[in-house]
Amino acid sequence: MTYEKWIDVTKGIGILLVILGHNDFDQSFLTVIHTFNMPLFFYISGYLFHYKKYKLNPNNFIFQKFKRLVVPYFVTNIIILCTFTLLFFFKMNSFNGNSPVKYLIGVFYGNGAPLNPPTIYTNLLSVPSWFLLGLFCASLILYLLTDSHEKYGLAFSSFLCFLVILFGFRISKYILLPWSFDIACVSMIFMFSGYLVNYYKINWLYNNFKSNLYNSICILLLFIVISINGAVDMNTRTYSNLFFFSIAGLLGTYITIEFAKKISKKESLLMKIFAYFGKNSILILLYHTFIPIVILDTTNNFCNIREIISHSPILYSLTMLVSSIVTIIIIKRLPFLDRIYF
């Protein structure tokens, strides 16, 4: 499959929404972002998945996903743990009363929740990194679903997908499974949809008039559904009504993709910026919360910028973004880490 420019642009928009979503903006704004920012990434992953590529060699598929998702997860968390330990030694950082061993339990359990209050099974070193382990599990589930689609057709695989989603939704009310496996099950709403859209080459738009009309209707429907369903968050398993959560996630994903496609028609500066962020979205996801903390901790004894930045969501978002760009540049110059992340 020819890699389409809009895919990187979409991921770039998505990762910027993730950064904004991890700041203290107005709750209504955060509700809109959380409705579709993670569903968007699951959808794109499903859209890019090709069963036939790995049909004869599932072990290679597992290996590639493990290398791409699981290895960066553990490497990043080890780096963060070592950094915080060093800062703690020099009294520049606090482990909040927890020992490194307790943090490691959270890392290996692989959950970004619960957060209020967190437990020993919550990865507090890098809360956003739950997505990598969740996506790894989701990729394995999608492989099984696409295998059933290939062998038994759309009706059977769709029913199987429904059962998987229902299992993830129900079990999350009682226990948060390791490696966010329950989220991986629920994510099939978006991953399997993305796979089917690409598999059947579904394209609803025929001209600019219909495109603008559909987009306007979708935006209106999105806000209606959000107002009905309320706040959602895949990490904390806050779905409210599963049907409305699914509809809002798919609508937000569709709107973002259409916006990305419009941007991608021209080689503009905006397109290049979004594409750059999209190509480096995993690195940004992993480091955008960690690096600003290190910066503020290490500079706290010299200048009082913490109070200024931490109380301004816009400034803190910019700090996250700029520090992420610097991190990308540095990692690309380090051969070992470059091989891990790229």
Please state the length of the chain.
342
Q: Distance from CA of residue 230 to its chain's centroid? A: 20
Q: Both tokens of residue 305?
A: 């910028």
CA distances to 13, 39, 183, 243 from 248, rounded to whole Å, are 17, 10, 17, 9
The pLDDT, as a whole number, for residue 42 is 99
Q: Distance from CA of residue 151 to its chain's centroid? A: 30
Residue pointed to by tokens 């796979």: 195
Q: How many CB atoms lie within 10 A of CB 330?
A: 10
Q: Do you find a cis peptide bond into 335, omega within 30 degrees of 0?
A: no
Q: Give the dihedral of Cα atoms 154, 157, 160, 164; nearest 10 deg.
A: -110
The pLDDT, as a whole number, for residue 98 is 67
Close Cβ partners of 335 (under 8 Å, ≥ 6 residues apart) = none
CA 126 – CA 110 distance, rounded (Å): 10
The pLDDT, as a whole number, for residue 207 is 61
List of the chain residues with pLDDT < 50: none
Residue pointed to by tokens 């690096």: 291
The 3 state secondary structure assigned to 60-113 is HHHHHHHHHHHHHHHHHHHHHHHHHHHHHHCCCCCCCCCCHHHHHHHHHHCECC
pLDDT per position as a tens digit, 257-267: 999 999 999 89
The pLDDT, as a whole number, for residue 211 is 79
This prediction's pTM: 0.95
The pLDDT, as a whole number, for residue 1 is 52
Q: Where are the alpha helices (DSSP H) in the chain?
A: 5-21, 27-48, 51-54, 58-65, 71-89, 100-109, 130-152, 154-171, 181-186, 188-199, 208-229, 242-263, 269-279, 281-287, 290-299, 306-310, 313-332, 335-341
Residue from 194, 202, 190 nearest 164 by CA: 190
CA 98 – CA 89 distance, rounded (Å): 14
Q: Distance from CA of residue 92 to its chain's centroid? A: 30
Kindly write down the DSSP assignment for every residue of 4-45, as one continuous string. PHHHHHHHHHHHHHHHHHTS---HHHHHHHHHHHHHHHHHHH
Name the average pLDDT for the chain.
93
